[in-house]
Amino acid sequence: MDKVDILKTNVRPSKEMFIYECGYEYCAPTKPFEYIHINYYLLHYIIDGEGYFIMDGVKHHLKKGDGFFIPPYKDNNYYPDSDNPWVYRWVGFNGTECKKLLKMSGFYDGNYTFAYDFENGLKDNFLNIYLSFKNGDYFSSLGFLYQVFGKLIKEYENESNKLSNPKEIYTDKAVEFIEENYNKQISVTEISKSLNIDRSHFFKCFRDVMNISPQQYLINFRLSKSQDLLRKSSFSISTISSLVGFSSPEYYSKIFKKYIGITPNEFRGKYTKK
């Protein structure tokens, strides 16, 4: 295989996005120098070795599985590590939808780098972009570029979710736990243990997000489920109380009357033909 190959075309299979060039390079150690401005977007993916990328005065040390993005008309500088020079593939592209896709991938507010090393997914995509392009199959090449964006967007969304409000994360997981276990004898303490956080801290997080205590949410959820069963099933009150997690039919009836205003039997009677 040659040390470097650069492919270019003026064919534009889609105005939304089209590939202007692509290629690869097995880099030799070089001194840093600044590249000229380009009038399209450029995405590099490192498949081996390491190197340095400088943008907006910030120097990034990148390695296998990392990548970097260069916008049009932007000063940029990148070069391989002298002891372990990088090997990378790149694709240059443009089109009306590029800004949107790049922002969805996390490339905004000064972010020009990414990391993706799962099961050679991007490595294969970049290779297929190049091979299809070389064969003149520009639609397939563009399709593989969309797959690159699909992976980057999904990874960025996953990372963004990890950085979301911790209170919301705990609350979402608590609600999920309740929905899966409401029919068992679970308590607020057990819910907090499932989340690996202190009970009082969990209580505050849940209350701040839901404006209701976790205990009250659990009661409301169980009552809602029991109302569905009262309307749609012929189960006895005793069986229904057990199916939705209440400790006894008597306690269930007491809680139902307190919050719904009538007994379970009276509620069922409203939906029974006479």
Quick one: pLDDT at residue 161?
A: 67
Instruction: Give 257's contacts (C-beta < 8 A, 6+ positions apart).
Output: 263
Radius of gyration of the chain (CA): 29
Closest CA to 247 of 257, 234, 236, 238: 238
Asked if 51 contacts 80 with a C-beta cutoff of 8 angstroms, the reply is yes
State the DSSP H helix or E strand holding residue 45, giving kind and residue range, or none if neither.
strand 41-48
Tokens representing residue 137 in the block:
């199959």
Distance CA 104, CA 50 (A): 26
Instruction: Give 138's contacts (C-beta < 8 A, 6+ positions apart).
Output: 9, 11, 13, 18, 19, 132
Quick one: pLDDT at residue 254?
A: 96
Asked if 43 contacts 67 with a C-beta cutoff of 8 angstroms, the reply is yes
DSSP 3-state assignment of 265? helix
Distance CA 201, CA 183 (A): 25
Quick one: pLDDT at residue 157?
A: 81
DSSP 3-state assignment of 62? strand
Domains, the chain, ordered by start = 4-162 (2.60.120.280), 166-269 (1.10.10.60)
Quick one: pLDDT at residue 155?
A: 87
Residues of the chain with pLDDT under 50: none
Quick one: pLDDT at residue 164?
A: 62
Quick one: pLDDT at residue 214?
A: 95
Quick one: pLDDT at residue 57?
A: 85
Instruction: Give 150's contacts (C-beta < 8 A, 6+ positions apart).
Output: none
Q: CB-side exposure of 190: number of CA atoms within 13 Å?
A: 10
pLDDT in tens, 192-248: 999 989 999 999 999 998 999 999 999 999 999 999 999 999 999 999 999 999 999
Distance CA 256, CA 93 (A): 63
State the DSSP H helix or E strand holding residue 66, giving kind and residue range, or none if neither.
strand 66-70
Asked if 44 contacts 60 with a C-beta cutoff of 8 angstroms, the reply is no
**Tokens 């409203």, residue located:** 270
